Amino acid sequence: MLRPFLEFARPYRGAYALGLVHLVLTNALSLAIPWLLGDAIRAMERGAEPELLAKYAGAMLLLALVQAWVRTLSRLRILGASRQIVYDMRNRFFAQLQRLDARFYDSQRTGDIMSRGVNDLQLLQSFYGPGVMNLLNTAIVYLAVLVLLLRIDAPLTFLAVSLFPLLYLAVNRLSKRVYARSLAVQEQLALISNRAQENLSGIQQVKIFAQEEREIRAFAELCAEFRLRNLSLARIRGAMVSLIGLASGLGTIVVLAVGGSHVIQGRIGFGDFVAYNAYLALLAWPTVALGWIVNVFQRGAGAMERLQEILRAAPAVPSPDVAPGAEIEPLDGDIEIRGLSFTYSGDGDPGRGRYSLENVSLSIPRGSRVALVGAVGSGKSTLVNLLARVYPAPAGTIFLGGVDINELPVERLRRSIGYVPQEAFLFSRSLRDNIALGNPGASDEEISRALGLSHLEGDLDLLPEGLATVVGERGFTLSGGQRQRATLARAALRAPRILILDDSLSSVDADTEKAILEELARQREGRTLLLISHRLSTLAGVDRIVVLERGRIVEDGTHAELLARGGLYARLFRRHLLEERLDAR
């Protein structure tokens, strides 16, 4: 359980060691003040001069000032280390999210991931900072004070701390409940974060279907459950603090009753009794803080467990490493698919649902233009997702240039493939930044060529600041066709050896789509083009058309050959022509 905590703290053990030294010095100075107070009272009993008492007062004031300075240094060391640790954890968490594949995100809620990266890390900062600092301080204070108390009156000290073993057992039992209830609070907060994220992302759908009140009620129910879980946690924390306070109060009563009799009997002097009570008072805050420390540590343990679930996750197919600073050469070669079968369940068991692809074999020579055609759900997008390693392909099924793509570094594979998916996604940045996403150092001339190929250049005059226009979240300020052409320009800017268009021109009119495909044909230069489109009339110029049905390849040939066969492609083509005629009326 401690291993992950120590792993992140290890680089900062020097800062914690210095913080511990400063805490020891702080408490040594703090403990010296009651000792001086006891000496001053003993001096008064002997009839000391006012000058001597003034010296005692000045010494105590000086110790208090030095103690405040040293305590500040201890806080800077330990709290500063906690912020550095969480800084490292946050960067590692985000880097891990970048490494994980689509299969991981299919099973995770975005709001839950965000909650782990924000709320749980905040809890861990409290653990590594105030939690560790107060734990160390409490241990030092208890050890030092008990030694001094035993030195003044050992029997009284044993009597005063006799309740501590029972207190420890009770706190240990309650802490298990704190952990369980804290984890429940964090999980509920993740549900709230996810609900809010989904509503903000889908706010247009909520408003279109007039679901505002329903969503408000659902969110209120989640918040009500969160409140109940927090109250449940607060009750157990309150019981713990009250229990600790009760034990501390009983100890004080014992000291006043028994210690007073010791003073009357002459076993200890009045000055020693005052010093004894001053030392006992120093235990008040650490004793009360003990409940808070237990709560911080239990909540930190829950947060670390949730964080480790993400950090321990791994891509289904790990990518070979690329040497730092090594130049990544794009791949150039034939694409070969051998007996590919795939299910999204990831276990290869079609009993949980039919294969998305089944026994698919296909050879695509370098530089050719191939169209994938089929009805919705036939497996077209799945096939190109596997080729681009958006999802992991089974070993020994997809080869690029004779090499299994699972054995290629993912950086090299992605540098070689330009993939334009069905859903055009743009970041809330300038249009230029979105287009240059994969090639931030692109020149104006290179961007201009990419704009020309995607036929987006003529739309720049319609934007208030041209390429500098910030397109808003998900590119909402652009039309659907403009978003699609922007993502095409983004892919084309990298000049990939393999370009995949997954129905990525569906929002563009037929004439523009035809013009773009003709431009791609003129700029082939050995580039392989894989095209998915429902506009079959634009596919007459491709080298080859592969037809899929229910995850299987059922036809393969040129446009003319497939029409002549009168099979599935011919039926799809006739239906498409009929739809075009109806749309034209």
Total Cβ atoms within 10 A of residue 545: 25
The residue among 486 and 33 whose pLDDT is bigger is 486
459 secondary structure, DSSP code: G
- 319 pLDDT band (50/70/90 cuts)? low
Is residue 326 predicted with pLDDT exceeding 60? no
Question: 166-199 pLDDT, tens per residue?
Answer: 666 676 677 777 777 877 888 888 888 888 877 8
Coil vs helix vs strand at 129: helix
Shared domain check, 351 and 272: no
Shared domain check, 290 and 398: no
Is residue 128 predicted with pLDDT exceeding 90? yes
Say what the pLDDT of residue 45 is: 67
Total Cβ atoms within 10 A of residue 114: 15
Task: Answer for the pair 559, 542: CB distance below 8 angstroms, yes or no.
Answer: yes
- Chain position carrying tokens 């607060």: 234
Is residue 317 predicted with pLDDT exceeding 70? no
- 456 pLDDT band (50/70/90 cuts)? confident
Say what the pLDDT of residue 145 is: 82
Shared domain check, 430 and 289: no
Say what the pLDDT of residue 337 is: 93
Question: Across the chain, what does the average pLDDT equal?
Answer: 82
- 585 pLDDT band (50/70/90 cuts)? low
Q: Which of 278, 295, 311 is the last residue of a domain?
A: 311
Shared domain check, 302 and 365: no
Shared domain check, 293 and 425: no
Average the pLDDT over 535-539 and give the result.
81
DSSP string for residues in 150-163: HHH-HHHHHHHTTT
Query: Which CATH number goes with the domain that contains 62?
Result: 1.20.1560.10
Shared domain check, 342 and 306: no
Say what the pLDDT of residue 545 is: 92
Question: 505-535 pLDDT, tens per residue?
Answer: 888 888 888 888 888 887 767 788 999 988 8
Nearest CA-CA partner of 428 in 370, 472, 377, 488: 472
Number of domains composing the chain: 2
Residue 71 forms part of a structural domain: yes
Residue 569 forms part of a structural domain: yes
Question: 198-217 pLDDT, tens per residue?
Answer: 787 777 677 766 778 888 88
pTM: 0.75
Question: 281-316 pLDDT, tens per residue?
Answer: 777 667 667 767 877 888 888 889 889 989 988 776
Say what the pLDDT of residue 129 is: 92
Task: Answer for the pair 414, 388: CB distance below 8 angstroms, yes or no.
Answer: yes
- Mean pLDDT is lowest, of 239-253, 370-384, 406-420, 471-485, for 239-253
Residue 565 forms part of a structural domain: yes
Residue 171 forms part of a structural domain: yes
Residue 208 forms part of a structural domain: no
Shared domain check, 378 and 260: no
Q: Which of 311, 345, 374 is the last residue of a domain?
A: 311
Is residue 348 predicted with pLDDT exceeding 60? no
Coil vs helix vs strand at 525: coil
Say what the pLDDT of residue 64 is: 85
Average the pLDDT over 125-147 and give the result.
87
Say what the pLDDT of residue 423 is: 84
Residue 219 forms part of a structural domain: no
Instruction: Please give the angle made by the CA atoms of 27, 280 and 234, to the nearest 5 degrees.
Output: 90
Taking the C-alpha atoms of residue 82 and residue 182, their distance in angstroms, rounded to an integer, is 21
- Mean pLDDT is lowest, of 93-97, 103-107, 466-470, for 103-107
Say what the pLDDT of residue 27 is: 84
Residue 57 forms part of a structural domain: yes
Nearest CA-CA partner of 95 in 298, 385, 242, 311: 311
Coil vs helix vs strand at 97: helix
Shared domain check, 22 and 84: yes
Nearest CA-CA partner of 385 in 423, 351, 410, 421: 421
Residue 320 forms part of a structural domain: no
Query: Which CATH number goes with the domain that contains 428?
Result: 3.40.50.300
Structure token pair of residue 392: 């992991």
- Mean pLDDT is lowest, of 55-69, 203-217, 221-235, 244-258, for 244-258
Average the pLDDT over 210-226 and give the result.
86
Say what the pLDDT of residue 523 is: 74
- Domain around 13: 3-186+230-311
* Residues 6+ away with beta carbon under 8 Å from 544: 368, 369, 370, 371, 556, 557, 558
Shared domain check, 174 and 44: yes
Shared domain check, 348 and 236: no
Say what the pLDDT of residue 324 is: 52
Q: Which of 311, 345, 364 is the last residue of a domain?
A: 311
Say what the pLDDT of residue 264 is: 74
Say what the pLDDT of residue 350 is: 43
Q: In what order do the strands lie in the sheet with 528-532?
A: 417-420, 498-502, 528-532, 369-373, 544-549, 552-557
Shared domain check, 394 and 274: no
What burial letters (b/e) apply to 26-53, b meaning 16+ CB within 10 Å?
A: bbebbbebbbbbbbbbbbeeeebeeeee
**Phi, psi of 478, rounded to the nearest 5 degrees:** -105, 160
Say what the pLDDT of residue 349 is: 46
For 21-52, the three-class secondary structure string (H helix, E strand, C coil) is HHHHHHHHHHHHHHHHHHHHHHHHHCCCCHHH
Region of residue 340 (left: phi > 0; alpha: psi -120 to 50; beta: else): beta
* Residues 6+ away with beta carbon under 8 Å from 121: 86, 89, 90, 93, 303, 307
Question: 402-454 pLDDT, tens per residue?
Answer: 888 888 888 888 888 888 888 888 888 888 888 888 888 888 888 888 888 88
Is residue 361 predicted with pLDDT exceeding 90? yes
**Phi, psi of 338, rounded to the nearest 5 degrees:** -125, 110
Shared domain check, 235 and 134: yes
Say what the pLDDT of residue 315 is: 75
